[in-house]
Amino acid sequence: MQRTPIARRLAAALVAVGLAAAGCSSSSGGGGGGAFELWDPYPHFDASSEWAKVIDRCGQQNGVKVERQSYDTTDLTSKVLLAAQQGTAPEVLVVDNPVVSTLAEAGVLKSNQDSGLDASAAAPNLVAAAQTGGKTYGVPIGANTLGLYYNKPVLNAAGVDPATITDWASLDAALAKVAAAGRKGITFAAIGTEEGTFQFLPWFWGAGANLTKLDSPEAESALALWKSWLDKGYATDTAIGNTQVVSWQEFATGEYAFAENGTWNLANAAKTGFEVGVLAIPARSGGVAPAPTGGEFVTVPAQRDSATEATAAKVAACLVSPDNVLATDTALTYVSAVPSVRDKQVAQQPELKVWAEAVQAAKGRTGDGLGTKYPRISQPLWTAVQAALTGAKSPREALAEAASAAAK
């Protein structure tokens, strides 16, 4: 049987996210069963959570009873693609921001222009992750990103004032002092997966590099910086295989001065047993480096009738309204995508000020018009990082190969 254009796009999307239809069970979505469904990637939040309560309120306000289904992030992507093939997609979908462009280009999502959803209250740098083909798909529910956690006792013992760390040179100087004091410098995650690219991007973008030109001098300077940390002993070889979880575990031993990690570890920082501070990751010549955004978008999948889509857009708009999103973002440990709500968060929790600044400077990985091109860039990039850090290739050679692979 000949496939329709949308069926071909859905099949291509399954391949793009590394999924096999034979390995996934089908799910009953709202389009086929009469229920109004919302799917999200938050299985750790039960019916008593603030997030679940907001969903219930938003459904009631719009005359529908919302049935919530939660899945692991990877499972959620596969299930919604398969549900779209079967015509049973949920009415509202909360999905990780890098996946939005893939789902949009596969025809799974309705654009805001078509559904009536409005993203104008959210910060443009965050909304950009869901823009493709001149249209926007969904509204960011909030964001997390990367920063530099630091161990205050280690820095004090090394005579380092964290306030002096404003660029790469001052960070290197601080690491040199820590090493001279006999302590470990920095832990980060350079594993050969998307996590490795995610962790490398603040340095890559902070050098002024662009994902459309992986072999630029700016990109080389960022990779050379990471390699120099291993060569000088500021970082250990474990970084090459570290996930972000393992990197945090290393920092939590109290042996390291710095850890590159995310907003999600704020609660863990309070449990380390030593005093922890946070710095925004510095750009090469000063200022805050653009770090990649994590976090989800509330979106409206395509349905059989426009009335259902219009109701879904109203429920989605309610979920991200300023009245609701403050409690939601606090529950999710996100910095709000809405600047006015972000200011309220910082007023309530002054320790979020650094993270608010980091989110303000952050970028979506699929932004700059990359969309579904991003995965074809990310994999060569993390491969280059691995090759350079292991010494298999120089940073220049590794990035030249990455640029060639990304162009195919």
Longest dimension (CA), the chain: 71
CB 132 within 8 A of CB 371: yes
Considering the domain architecture, whether residues 50 and 179 belong to the same structural domain is answered as no
DSSP 3-state assignment of 107? coil
Residue 152 has, within 13 A of its CA and on its CB side, a CA count of 10
Higher pLDDT pick, 280 / 2: 280
Considering the domain architecture, whether residues 56 and 133 belong to the same structural domain is answered as yes
- Residue 121's pLDDT is what? 94
CB 118 within 8 A of CB 139: yes
Q: What is the pLDDT of residues 143-198, one digit of tens each?
A: 999 999 999 999 999 999 999 999 999 999 999 999 999 999 999 999 999 999 99
Listed range (32-41, 217-226, 372-381) with the worst mean pLDDT? 32-41
Q: What is the pLDDT of residues 76-117, one digit of tens each?
A: 989 999 999 999 999 999 999 999 999 999 999 999 999 999
Considering the domain architecture, whether residues 203 and 130 belong to the same structural domain is answered as no
Considering the domain architecture, whether residues 111 and 157 belong to the same structural domain is answered as no
CA distances from 196 to 67, 104, 126, 328, 389 (A): 36, 26, 21, 29, 12
Looking at the structure of the chain, the number of domains it has is 2
Q: Is the dihedral of CA 155, 161, 164, 166 positive or negative?
A: positive
- Residue 145's pLDDT is what? 95
Where residue 118 sits, what CATH number does that domain have? 3.40.190.10
Considering the domain architecture, whether residues 19 and 135 belong to the same structural domain is answered as yes
pLDDT at 46 over 70: yes
Considering the domain architecture, whether residues 180 and 286 belong to the same structural domain is answered as yes
Confidence of residue 9 (pLDDT cuts 50, 70, 90): low
Q: Which long-range contacts (CB under 8 A, 24 or more apart) does 4-13 make?
A: 6/106, 6/107, 7/85, 9/105, 9/106, 9/107, 10/81, 10/84, 10/85, 10/106, 10/107, 10/108, 12/106, 13/81, 13/102, 13/103, 13/105, 13/106, 13/108
Considering the domain architecture, whether residues 252 and 396 belong to the same structural domain is answered as yes
Domain containing 301 equals 5-140+294-361
- Residue 352's pLDDT is what? 92
23-51 burial, b at 16+ Cβ within 10 Å, e below that, comes to eeeebebbbeeebbbbbbbbeebeeeebb
pLDDT at 27 over 70: no
- Residue 34's pLDDT is what? 56
Write down the H helix ranges in 190-302. 194-206, 217-231, 244-252, 266-269
pLDDT at 23 over 70: no
pLDDT at 24 over 80: no
Q: What is the pLDDT of residues 330-339, one digit of tens each?
A: 777 899 999 9
Confidence of residue 135 (pLDDT cuts 50, 70, 90): very high
Write down the H helix ranges in 87-180. 97-105, 112-115, 124-127, 152-158, 168-180
Considering the domain architecture, whether residues 271 and 338 belong to the same structural domain is answered as no
Residues 204-215, mean pLDDT to the nearest whole number: 97
Q: Which long-range contacts (CB under 8 A, 24 or more apart) does 51-55 make?
A: 51/328, 51/331, 51/332, 54/318, 54/319, 54/324, 54/327, 54/328, 55/319
Considering the domain architecture, whether residues 310 and 261 belong to the same structural domain is answered as no
Considering the domain architecture, whether residues 191 and 274 belong to the same structural domain is answered as yes
Listed range (43-47, 276-280, 309-313) with the worst mean pLDDT? 43-47
Mean pLDDT of the chain: 91
- Residue 19's pLDDT is what? 31
- Residue 20's pLDDT is what? 27
- Residue 39's pLDDT is what? 98
Considering the domain architecture, whether residues 306 and 278 belong to the same structural domain is answered as no
Rounded CA-CA distance 396/408 in Å is 19
- Residue 333's pLDDT is what? 82
Q: What end-to-end distance do the CA atoms of the chain give, in Å?
A: 31
pLDDT at 26 over 70: no
- Residue 323's pLDDT is what? 85
Considering the domain architecture, whether residues 49 and 110 belong to the same structural domain is answered as yes
The vertex-379 CA angle with 296 and 335, nearest 5°, equals: 25
- Residue 329's pLDDT is what? 85
Q: What is the pLDDT of residues 353-377, one digit of tens each?
A: 999 999 999 999 998 889 889 999 9
